[in-house]
Amino acid sequence: MTASVFTKRYQKFRELLILYRNKAGLTQTQLADRLKKPQSFVSKYENGERRLDLVEFIEIADYLQLEPCKLIRKLLEEFES
């Protein structure tokens, strides 16, 4: 079984996080500062080197002023059959 980090769905999840970070006008460094994490934390999940857990995702969405369900709905719509 392939690790989910490498699926098309996870790739789209990462792309959406990048899109919403850019829409929020934040650099990786600015977001990392708000999260009290190093810039490499943001870089690694955006590049697929690190997976996010649910709690981390919700915290990131909060700083991006994004309703987590909105991103999840967008992700599900992308992959509807």
Q: pTM, whole model, 2 decimals? A: 0.87
Question: Residue-wise pLDDT tens for the chain (81 aa)?
Answer: 455 567 899 999 999 999 999 999 999 999 999 999 999 999 999 999 999 999 999 999 999 999 999 999 999 998 885
In sequence order, the 6+-apart residues with CB closer than 8 A to the CB of 17 are 45, 46, 60, 64, 71
CATH superfamily of 15-78: lambda repressor-like DNA-binding domains (1.10.260.40)
Supply the pLDDT for residue 81. 57
| Residues 35, 44: Cα–Cα separation, whole Å | 14
